[in-house]
Amino acid sequence: MTPFIYITLAVFRPDPGYLEAQLQSVAAQEGVETHLVAVIADRVSGPMVARLCADLGLGLTLVSPDNNLDSVRAFEAGLARALTLSEEQNRPDALFALSDQDDIWHPDRLARGVAALGEGPAMLAHSDARLVDAQGAVIHPSMFAYERRDRRPGLRGLLYRNTITGMTVLMRRAVLEIALPFPAQAGIHFYHDLWLGLVAEAAGGVVLIDAPLVDYRQHGANTVGAVSREPWRLPRFDKVWLRRRATSYALARYLANSTYLRMAEAVASGRLADGSARIAPIRPYLRRLRGAGSFAADALRLTLRGQFARARIAGSFTVVHFGRAVSALRRTLDEGLDPALARFDERLYSLSPGVAPRAVEPAPAPPRASAEKLP
C-alpha cells in the first residue's frame, strides 16, 4: 500500500515564487500519496495557495483562523486538523509531515522518511538539510555541520539544544495524539519541532537520516534561520549571564515536566504500552533537590567529546539547579521546603515560558511503569 502523508504548511505573507517552488517540490514527491493542510496564518493568502495547489494537482484543506497566528500556533492548528482529517478519511496508518513555505524538498524526502521509520519503534524521522541562499545556490551542504549539531542528543540532550528541524520531520500518528495541544507559553519560548521531538523521543525514539533531503532557504524574512556556532569562549559570570542561563534552564525544566505528564497520560489512556515511555533522562529536572550531578556529568561527557557549547549549557544547568536547591534550603526554616521551592520556581517560570507547569504528579496516578516514583 502506498504510504499516505498529511503535510501541514503554515502560510504567512509568503513570497509567491518561493511558495510555488516549495509546492512544486511537494507535488514531485516519489512513492507516496499526500494531502496538504495549509494554515493561512496571515488570513489573506488562502486564494493564492488554493490556486497553486489546483494547478499542481495537490489535495488541499485550508485552515482559516479567526486571528493572525504565530508559527507555533499555526502548526498546532494545522496538525490538529490533519489528525482529525485522518480520522474522518479512515486513514489510521497515515503519517504526518511539516513544511515551511519557502524551502525546497528533494524528491525522495518523504519516501526516505517512510523507510527510516519502517516497522521499528521510532516515532519520528528527520534529516539533515542543505543551506541555500535566496536564489537557491548552496551556502553549505550540511546544516548539522554548519551548526555543529549533535546527531544523537537523546532526550535530555534535546533540552540543551534542539537538533530537529520541523521541515525535515515525518512522524507517526501517536506523536500528535500525545503532543496536542501544545504546552502553554507566553509568546514564543519554544518551537513546535522541539516539543514534537521530545514527545517522539520519550514515546519510542527518533531516527536521523544522515543526508540532506531539504534545501533550507536563507533569506531576510526567515522566522528562524540557520546559525553558525562559533567555538566556545569563556563567558562572563555576572548577573546577565545568570539570568540568561536561568531562563534556558526554566524552559528545559518546564518542557521536561510537560513531557513526563504527557507520557504518564498516554500510558494511562492506553496510547502507549505500560513500561514503554522512556522518561529516565528527564528525571533530574523533576527532582525536588537532587539532580545537579546529572547535569555536571553531562557537562564533563560533552567536554570530552569536544562539544563545548553544549557542555557549557549543561554546566550552567548544574549551577542553576544547585542554586535552586540551596536557595530553597536557606528559606526552609522560615517557609518550609515545599513553599520555598514553589516560590523559587514561580520566579523561574516567569522568565520562561511565562506560565507555570502543572503539578508533576497527575491524578489519578498512571500505571506503575510509566509513573516511576521520583526521588
Q: What per-residue confidence (pLDDT) applies to 233?
A: 56
pTM given for the model: 0.91
Nearest Cα residue to 36 out of 92, 90, 98: 98
Query: Rounded to whole angstroms, how far apart are CA atoms 364 and 375?
Result: 19
List pLDDT tens digits, range 263-296. Answer: 999 999 999 998 889 999 999 999 988 999 999 9
| Burial annotation 273-292 (CB, 10 A radius, 16+ → b, else e) | eeebbbbebbbbbbeeeebb
Question: Which grid cell is 72?
Answer: 507555533
Instruction: Tell me how far the alpha carbon of residue 297 is from its chain's centroid.
Output: 24
List pLDDT tens digits, range 160-178. Answer: 999 999 999 999 999 999 9
| Burial annotation 237-254 (CB, 10 A radius, 16+ → b, else e) | eeeeeeeebbbbbbbbbb
Average pLDDT in the 27-39 region? Answer: 98
Given a cut of 80, whether residue 237 has pLDDT beyond it is: no
The answer to whether the CB of 209 falls within 8 A of the CB of 122 is no
Q: Which structural domains are found in the chain, ordered by start?
A: 4-217 (3.90.550.10), 239-351 (no CATH)
Nearest Cα residue to 53 out of 24, 76, 11: 24
